[in-house]
Amino acid sequence: MCELLGMNSSKPAALNFSFAGFSERGGRTGEHRDGWGIAFHEPAGCRLIIDDRPSIDSPLAHALKHNPVKAKNVVAHIRKATEGEVAPQNSHPFTRVLWGTTWSFAHNGNLSTFRPAPDPHFVPAGETDSERAFCYLLAGLRRRFPVQPPSRAALFIAVQTMAAVIARHGTFNFILSNGDFLLAHCSTQLHYVVRAYPFASASLVDCDLQIDFRQHNHLDDQIVVIATLPLTTGEQWHRFEPGELKLFSGGAPLAVHPGPGSDSGSKPLRLLMSY
């Protein structure tokens, strides 16, 4: 199986500490040697870096650790191939444009029986089940909301509905972002940690590296890091429930609840902060 890494922050932030541990799993502490990639959602657009080499041996990954990129939303992936050859076009994250915005997506799991009808607007460039699932999600959103993006709550419900359909075909852990917020879905295992005041010190599980976040953050900074398995000790990681979809914005998880008097999703929904 592959592994996932994501970040959602209240301000542009660097993910280099977490990425340093995560990249070790791409060939040294883990078996995910079939490529890696990372998408940074910056104000000017989405910057995508992909490589079909193991992250532990990749000059691009090495450069990234020493020249961190700041962004509010980041989606990263290390691959252990199940479908599709080891090639750049099969490395996650995948990106596509919907409603004039670039979306990024990375998946952990296997969906060998998922063969949806092709959509002319979102055609996979590679051979992976993961990219097929991504195209299916975006095509479904476009059909539901053809003119403009819906509210976050309506989009959440739509993604939740489609994710449940896809998950019938296998394991569907994924991270999806449009640069404004980040969605994460758990089929088997996924974890997250909130880094906020008063902050803590943490040590990476996969290499000998420690950090005191109090020395690197302001009082109003808030960051969520999502990973397949916890990357650190010394801070509290929360486990997703199987089948759970979470939305993160501003460095915090948001809970979707029906609005007053709502029935069957026909009335407005509201998003509440959830810590």
Neighbours of 215 (CB within 10 A): 8
DSSP string, 48-86: EEEESS-GGG-HHHHHHHHS--EEEEEEEEE---SSS-S
Burial of 201 per CB tally in 10 Å (0-12, 13-18, 19+): middle
Name residue 8's amino acid.
N
Half-sphere exposure of 234 (CA within 13 A, CB side): 14
93 contacts 48 by C-beta, under 8 angstroms: yes
Please say if 46 is a catalytic residue. Answer: no
What span, in angstroms and rounded, lies between the C-alpha atoms of 248 and 168? 25
What span, in angstroms and rounded, lies between the C-alpha atoms of 85 and 89? 9
What span, in angstroms and rounded, lies between the C-alpha atoms of 275 and 98? 30
Q: What angle do CA 177, 182, 187 make, to 5 degrees?
A: 95
Task: Provide the token pair at 25.
Answer: 């799993």
Q: Which of 2, 46, 135, 186 is catalytic?
A: 2
70 contacts 16 by C-beta, under 8 angstroms: no
DSSP state of 91: S
Task: Provide the token pair at 50.
Answer: 């992909």
Task: Please name the residue that has the structure tokens 């020395």.
Answer: 215
Active site members: 2
